[in-house]
Every structure is written in structure tokens, then in C-alpha cells.
Amino acid sequence: MALSPARKPAARHRASAAHEALAGPAPTGKPGREPYNHERWLIAKMMRVAGHPPVRFRLWNDDVVEPEGREARFTLWLMDPRALYALVANPNLAFRDLYISGQLVVEGDLAQLTETLCQSIRTARQRWPRWLGALWRTQSQRPGHVDGERASLDHHASPGSRFYELWLDQAAMQFTCAYYERPENSLEQAQLAKLEHICRKLRLKPGMSVVEAGCGWGGLSRYMARHYGARVYAYSRSREQTQYARAEARKQGLDHLITYVNDDYLNIHGHYDAFVSVGLLEQLGQNHYAQLSDLIKCCLNPRGLALLHSIGRNRPMAMNTWIEDRIFSGACPPSIGQFIEICEHNDFSVLDVENLRLHYAQTLGHWLERFDRHRETITAMYNEQVTRSWQLYLAGLIAGFRSGSLQLFQVVFSHSNNNDIPYSRQDLYVFPATPEGL
């Protein structure tokens, strides 16, 4: 997401409660003109096409358009007629841009609204004529960039460590899905449990060598070194993340076990007992899967295990246009079939597949709650548009995982002739992965 210079928002808003979108009274000032009859008709038509979601519209002159045949749970404020026409022309993209600019104000829980709209439109699409479905796909999706991984990594690293420290977990600063053994676990407990869960799946032991492709802020590599005595080589293209990770390793007395490399993962060399990548695959694009497969084949020892952790989809499809253009350039989450292509390319044996979809929905809920608590600080650091972009991004992903349009896959595999593998998964659950005392 590009960080633009600060500019005055189009409408005033109050700070939200946890998990709630920015909302507020109608903007003060001179009321707008009366809406035309065809504008009311456009709203009614748009709601019919969307499956009659429980949404009311409050217009620029304070008139209200109620939903047909049901009680409203959410209110959308349109600040001027141009916002309505933009929304009708391309609802998928315009909703997000109007929200960010302040021309559309949401009253109600933003994550619940996006989930409700997703589910309503998904049901309604089954009754759409073919031309309307084709138009929606054209407006809402496009293929990811061929070199998406490079753009996405730079994009996500740009806000800086201080930005992420405000709302990620304090234990390991993980910007990936946590693992909730119990629904009541805190974010810190769940993120450390995720790291433990990964280490168990890799069957780590003291002295083993591990290479990590795309290490983020270095939390997993520090966990593997501290708790398993592993020798870790962690690659990141972000200079800031590499510097942060090195400083943390020195501070925690782990730098003798960890080598952080500021370089492209394609330049990984050497041989290792384990290969792990968390949150990289959804940024690559399918054109790079064969390269990744070849890399793993070359660097993984004969008895080694590999684990890939990635956002995924139920079927191959392009990413949402707004996320592609505004937030996550080049993102292209794979279907499970595309995921397995990596294994098939070099005759790897798939040992374990786990879907943590609901865990990611809960992780994002914790992130959004913390983000909302710090929204004034974040706005002061950047601007209102950046704050709104991230709120909507997190809320939209919550909706995606809750509705089932997004998945979270963890896949473990090895060389096909590796017989040094456990006969069951029982060893993964011999004792809780969630740390006590947090």
C-alpha cells in the first residue's frame, strides 16, 4: 500500500470501538440537493442485485432509503451524488475507495458488514444472468503480477517496524496466521503456539539446520533457535526487516545460531535438514512455483522435511482488484491444487495438509481490535486514508476467511524416497503447544 501525503478527509468521524468501523453523525454543513427519482431507483436496483442485504442508505441530504422487507443492520452514508454513481458503476472497487476518502461512512461493525455483503452477493450471483456475472468478474478481479513477490514484499515492509509493533503480537511480531488451540487464547499465546506447531511438524531437533525463505521480522527463526537449538539461515529481501531481526537476535543472545541474509530467496544455497516458508507463496504467483520447487529439491537433505504456509483459495481465481491495486500488489493465493503442483513438479511426497482458515479469521480479529485502539497514533504517523485502508483491508480479510472464500493451508512434504517419517501425527499433540503464563 502506497503511503500518500496527508490530506484533509472529506468528512468528520469519531474514533471506533474495537472491531467497529469509523462511524458518526451526518456531516455538519449545508445539506445537499434533493435526490432524483432515478437515483433512488439505482439504490433499490443495486440492492436487489446484491441479494437484498440488511443495509440502509443515508443520502447527502439526510434522506434515508431502507432495505426491502428486512430490518437494517448497517447504514451507509453517501456524502454526495458522485459517490452513488461511482458505487453503481463499480461497487467492488468504489466501495473501498469511497470509504477511504470519506465519501462513504459506515455505521456498524465493518468486518460484519463486509462478511454480510460477501455472503449476500455470493448467494445472489447464482441467479444473475451470465453477462452480469462476467461484468462482475471483470471489475472485481484480475490476474496477479508475474513478479508479484518482489512488489508485495517491498509493499508490506514500507510502513516500518513501529507501525506493526502497535498491533501485532508482542511475543514474536508475526504478520501471519496464528494457531488457537483454544478459542480463548490471546494473540500472543496463539502466535507462539503457531511457531511451536510448525517446529513440531518439521520434527526439529538440536543441531539441525533450517533455511527459512521470507523470514519477516525473524520471529520463527528466533523460536527455532531458542527452543530447539536449530541452526537457522533466514532470508529476507527487506533491509529493514533484516536489520530488525539481527538486532533482536543479538539482544536475545541467539545470533550465534541465526544468520539473517538480506537477499532474494532464489539465492538460497547449501543443504539443510528443513525448509520452511510462512506467508511467501501467496505473493509469488504460479509462474514461480517451478522455481521454488527446484530450489527446495536442491537444498533439502535426503531425509529433510519442508513446510509451506500460505493463504489459499477454494479454486484458482484472480485476486480482488482493490487489494491488488491498493494494498497487496501481486497477491495471488493458490488453490490447493496449485499448491500441490509444487510437490508434483519434483515428485515430492505430501505428508500433511492442514487448513487453519478460522484461525486466521480470529487472528485478523485480534489485529483489527488492536489496530482500532491505536488508530489515532497511526493516523498521526501517516494520514487518515492510510488508517482507513488498513482497517478495510483487515476487515475484508476477516470476511474472506469467515465466508470461506479464503483458506489458510499448511503443507508438509519431503523427497519421495524418504522413509524416515513418523507413522502418525500423534507426536504433534503430545502436550499443548500454547505456552503457559502469557
Same domain, 332 and 403: yes
Same domain, 372 and 325: yes
DSSP-derived secondary structure for 80-140: SHHHHHHHHH-HHHHHHHHHHHTSEEEES-HHHHHHHHHHHHHHHHTTS-HHHHHHHHHHH
Q: Which of 123, 142, 161 delimits the end of a domain?
A: 142
Same domain, 197 and 99: no
Question: What is the band of 25 on the pLDDT scale with cuts at 50, 70, 90?
Answer: very low
Rounded CA-CA distance 128/262 in Å is: 49
**368 C-beta neighbours (distance < 10 Å), count:** 26
Residue pair 233/272 in contact by the 8 Å Cβ criterion: yes
pTM (2 d.p.) = 0.85
**Inside any domain, residue 12:** no
Question: What is the band of 31 on the pLDDT scale with cuts at 50, 70, 90?
Answer: low
Same domain, 131 and 154: no
**Inside any domain, residue 296:** yes
Range of the domain at 53: 37-142
Return the C-alpha cell found at 230.
Answer: 536449530
Same domain, 66 and 97: yes
Alpha helices (H) in 158-210, listed in sequence order: 161-165, 187-201
Residue pair 159/3 in contact by the 8 Å Cβ criterion: yes
Instruction: Kindly report which listed range (98-112, 198-212, 312-326, 375-389) carries the lowest average pLDDT score.
Output: 312-326
Q: What is the pLDDT of residues 244-281, one digit of tens each?
A: 999 999 999 999 999 999 999 989 999 999 999 999 99
**What CATH number should be reported for the domain holding residue 421?**
3.40.50.150
Rounded CA-CA distance 364/214 in Å is: 21
Q: Which of 88, 108, 142 delimits the end of a domain?
A: 142
**Inside any domain, residue 14:** no
pLDDT above 70 as % of the chain: 84
Same domain, 275 and 324: yes
**Inside any domain, residue 409:** yes
Q: Is the pLDDT of residue 143 over 60?
A: no
Question: What is the band of 282 on the pLDDT scale with cuts at 50, 70, 90?
Answer: confident
Same domain, 177 and 138: no
**Inside any domain, residue 268:** yes
Same domain, 126 and 163: no
Same domain, 98 and 239: no
**Inside any domain, residue 203:** yes
**What CATH number should be reported for the domain holding residue 119?**
3.30.1050
**Inside any domain, residue 91:** yes
* pLDDT at position 279: 92
**Inside any domain, residue 68:** yes
> What's the burial of 101, exposed, middle or buried (CB within 10 Å: 0-12/13-18/19+)?
middle
Q: What is the pLDDT of residues 38-47, one digit of tens each?
A: 999 999 999 9
Range 361-385 average pLDDT: 96
Question: What is the band of 20 on the pLDDT scale with cuts at 50, 70, 90?
Answer: very low
Residue found by looking up cell 460484519 in the block: 112
Half-sphere exposure of 23 (CA within 13 A, CB side): 16
Same domain, 187 and 232: yes
Domain count across the chain:
2
Rounded CA-CA distance 252/227 in Å is: 12
Q: At what angle do helices 91-101 and 130-140 cross, to 10 degrees?
A: 40
Same domain, 161 and 138: no
Q: Which of 72, 107, 142 delimits the end of a domain?
A: 142
Stated as kind and residue range, the H or E segment containing 282 is: helix 281-284
Same domain, 411 and 367: yes
Rounded CA-CA distance 79/425 in Å is: 56
Return the C-alpha cell found at 241.
Answer: 526487516
Range 372-385 average pLDDT: 95
* pLDDT at position 158: 60
